[in-house]
């Protein structure tokens, strides 16, 4: 037995210890993720998992149009830091990253962040929730939260989240809370959705979609009420039409059955 043999044994020992630790970490993460999902699903919040990042019904042209709309509304500049709150699979942040200085994605779903990190290694992915953002005050120039509040129905939670958005934004910072379903326009939504599904069925075969596995409580919002809650935090609030998630060639880029809210922290 020589020193080389013991060296090799030691290396193997450390390697197997390392893989056991990694395995335990995976078991813990998946347990913790399950617990979070359970807690939030019990509260009837959707943990929407968009498996298809640039999926079948999200062609490049539509994604590019949506990214343009968001960029314009947020007024993104090359020296900006951006927090993507409820980033999901991270595909929006991936699109924004080349035009800003720094992007960070937060999501309550560890699985979604793992998914994001697997195809976008340069990103910063942090587990966290809207009502308790794990960053110190005045950290970000811009904040985006797209297709997230659509699932949140607890008003106290929304108020806390707005306070948190105000806290982490720098003075002069802006936030875009997008795709809030308008409570007065659900008939228009139903009509557009049915036309859109017909259009998709003729052209696409739908892939696996985790959303089907979840109970989806679509939360309807009142524009004025949402803005009033935001005003209470000291931010200004402007509502605007949302990007049309059923967009296809020849259709309007924006729709009236959902709205975006643009918040600004002036002091």
Ligand X SMILES: C[S@@+](CC[C@H](N)C(=O)[O-])C[C@H]1O[C@@H](n2cnc3c(N)ncnc32)[C@H](O)[C@@H]1O
Residue 15 or 38: which CB sits closer to ligand X? 38
- Using CB under 6 A, pick the residue from 120, 125, 140, 146 that binds ligand X: 146
**Residues paired with 81 in a beta bridge:** 102
Instruction: Give the C-alpha distances (Å, rounded to integers) separating 86 from 39, 133, 180.
Output: 16, 11, 14
Least distance to ligand X, CB of residue 218, Å: 11
Distance (Å, whole) CA 115 – CA 7: 37
Least distance to ligand X, CB of residue 261, Å: 15
Report 74-103 residues binding ligand X (CB under 6 A): 86-88, 91-92
Residue 112 or 227: which CB sits closer to ligand X? 112
Count of beta carbons in the 10 Å neighbourhood of residue 136: 8
Least distance to ligand X, CB of residue 40, Å: 6
User: How many chain residues touch ligand X (CB under 6 A)?
Assistant: 20
260 binds ligand X (CB under 6 A): no
Least distance to ligand X, CB of residue 149, Å: 8
Query: Are 137 and 168 in contact, with CB atoms under 8 Å apart?
Result: yes
67 binds ligand X (CB under 6 A): no
Distance (Å, whole) CA 157 – CA 227: 15
Residue 19 or 118: which CB sits closer to ligand X? 118
Residue 134 or 234: which CB sits closer to ligand X? 134
Least distance to ligand X, CB of residue 5, Å: 50
Residue 173 or 178: which CB sits closer to ligand X? 178
Q: Which region among 25-33, 41-49, 192-200, 219-227 touches ligand X (by CB under 6 A)?
A: 41-49
177 binds ligand X (CB under 6 A): no
- Please name the residue that has the structure tokens 């795709």: 179
Residue 151 or 163: which CB sits closer to ligand X? 151
Residue 129 or 233: which CB sits closer to ligand X? 129
130 binds ligand X (CB under 6 A): yes
Dihedral (CA of 85, 91, 96, 101) sign:
positive
Least distance to ligand X, CB of residue 209, Å: 11
Binding letters toward ligand X, positions 189-228, x by CB under 6 A: ----------------------------------------
Residues that bind ligand X (CB under 6 A): 45, 47-48, 50, 86-88, 91-92, 107-109, 112, 129-130, 146-148, 151-152
């Amino acid at each position: 037995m020589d020193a080389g043999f013991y060296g090799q044994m030691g290396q193997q020992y450390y390697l197997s210890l390392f893989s056991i630790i990694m395995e335990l970490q995976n078991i813990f993460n998946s347990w913790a993720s399950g617990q979070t999902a359970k807690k939030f699903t019990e509260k009837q919040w959707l943990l929407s998992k968009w498996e298809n990042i640039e999926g079948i019904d999200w062609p490049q042209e539509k994604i590019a149009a949506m990214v343009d709309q968001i960029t314009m509304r947020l007024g993104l500049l090359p020296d900006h830091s951006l927090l993507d709150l409820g980033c999901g699979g991270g595909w929006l942040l991936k699109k924004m990253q080349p035009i800003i200085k720094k992007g960070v994605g937060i999501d309550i779903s560890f699985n979604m962040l793992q998914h994001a990190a697997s195809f976008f290694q340069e990103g910063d992915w942090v587990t966290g929730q809207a009502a308790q953002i794990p960053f110190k005050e005045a950290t970000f120039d811009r904040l985006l939260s797209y297709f997230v509040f659509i699932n949140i129905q607890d008003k106290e939670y929304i108020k806390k989240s707005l306070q948190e958005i105000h806290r982490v934004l720098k003075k002069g910072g802006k936030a875009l809370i997008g795709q809030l379903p308008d409570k007065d326009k659900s008939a228009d939504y139903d009509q557009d959705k049915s036309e859109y599904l017909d259009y998709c069925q003729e052209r696409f075969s739908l892939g696996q979609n985790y959303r089907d596995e979840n109970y989806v409580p679509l939360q309807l919002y009142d524009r004025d009420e949402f803005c009033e809650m935001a005003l209470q935090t000291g931010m200004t609030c402007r509502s605007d039409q949302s990007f049309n998630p059923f967009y296809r060639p020849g259709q309007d880029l924006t729709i009236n059955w959902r709205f975006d809210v643009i918040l600004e922290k002036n002091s």
